[in-house]
Structure 1
């Protein structure tokens, strides 16, 4: 990468998804280090957090694609470089079946907040640390609201531009997008 190139966290592909918000964060630096507010209620996002998590990922790791029917999410990359992909599966949403891809840099802090019903995943180019918040705690959603699909299914319309990422066993064996939709339909999500 050209070091004179401006590093800017931004949406790089897809459409502007309904109720998804990328918030630029102000990092206040001085001789001691820096201070950055990473969440404010007054932003007016969909998220009312109940659980915060710090996550470390190695280079070439892909996490997702995850889907939840009960909680909103927040993602803030603190260190590193990643792609974050979303696919709107919300019935009746004005952007249903549309996708968006964001590129985030720890050097340009931003928070991505998205509502329930967004299929989501993230790929890390470099060793990275991110903060994640959800509006429902893992002990409440982990067993019955932690759906998945294959990260590279062409039906997602997410141009990751990557090959052979490091996946969890669950991600490596995830069904297609249509398989996920069939499972959610069976459970009554799309009825």
Structure 2
């Protein structure tokens, strides 16, 4: 696992009305501070990759649909240059903490859209965004987005 990345498995409390699950709490130490919460939906097959931040950490959750999430460590760390892959969504309800300096992106899996809710340690500033872009097919990262096990 890339240094600094954290995974939290979620607990669903189910009954005859549906379910309840806590996402993030202030006593879990997942975020150093809270900046913003956002939601986004992407259609099947869409790849949103890659970007990274210099100041903010991200905490990702996919409440509907499924996604292949790819992380690549750009930092001067013990895991520099390492790629990690996580499968997140309805079939694997986890929270994924992504530290600043780790490039990240995802591909929507299956035939339904995927929704992501994400929390950041800083709010987005359009005039000076803390968002550095890397192409989805960057040669240094060299990730193969094709499904391997058909």
Map 1:166-185 → 2, pairs under 5 A: none
Higher relative contact order by CA 8 Å / sep ≥ 6: 1 or 2? 2
Match of 2:72 in 1: 87
Q: Determine the structure 2 residue equivalent to 1:128.
A: 114
CA RMSD of aligned residues (A): 1.7
Q: In the alignment, is the contact (CA less than 8 A) between 1:27 and 1:109 conserved in 2?
A: no
Q: Which consecutive unaligned segments of at least 5 residues does structure 2 have? A: none
Which protein shows a greater Rg? 1
Mark the CA change 1:62 to 1:45 in structure 2 (over 3 Å): closer, same or farther.
same
Match of 1:105 in 2: 89
Deviations, residues 131-159 of structure 1 (Å, cap 9, x unaligned): 1111111126x634221111122421433
Q: Which one has a larger percent strand, Structure 1 or Structure 2?
A: 2
Which 4+ stretches in 1 moved above 6 angstroms?
none
The answer as to whether partners of 2:63 and 2:115 remain within 8 angstroms in 1 is yes
Q: Which has the higher helix share?
A: 1
Q: Do the aligned residues in 1 keep the contact of 2:24 with 2:30 (CA within 8 Å)? A: no
TM-score normalised according to structure 2 size: 0.88
The residue aligned with 1:74 is 59
Instruction: Tell me, yes or no, if the aligned pair for 1:82 and 1:105 is still in contact at 8 Å.
Output: yes
Which structure 1 residue ranges, 5 or more long, are not aligned?
1-15, 163-191
